[in-house]
Amino acid sequence: MKKFERNRWAAAIALRISDEWTGAADFPNDALLLRAYLEKSLKNDVEAIQSFISTGIIESDYFKKV
């Protein structure tokens, strides 16, 4: 997976997880912190990114145009 693609998937997955976190509405700053941490961590772990793709967290066609 190329760096651009890895970064794009990492950002999308981090956004999905942090946005769906039950505390996101009550603690928006904490949701941003969670998102930043997840994105940074995922960018360095291709296997983790690939494990999230095609799950209930993020669809494999997430970036395909409708």
Alpha-carbon gap, residue 29 to 44, rounded angstroms:
24
Residue 46: exposed, middle, or buried by beta-carbon count in 10 A (0-12, 13-18, 19+)? middle
Q: Domain segments of the chain: what residues?
A: 3-52
pTM here is 0.92
25-66 pLDDT tens trace:
999 999 999 999 999 999 999 999 999 999 999 999 999 976
Q: What is the pLDDT of residues 5-28, one digit of tens each?
A: 999 999 999 999 999 999 999 999
* Alpha carbons 19 and 8: distance in angstroms, whole number: 16
Instruction: Give the whole-angstrom CA distance, residue 6 versus residue 40.
Output: 11
Measure the CA–CA gap between 47 and 66, rounded to whole angstroms: 27
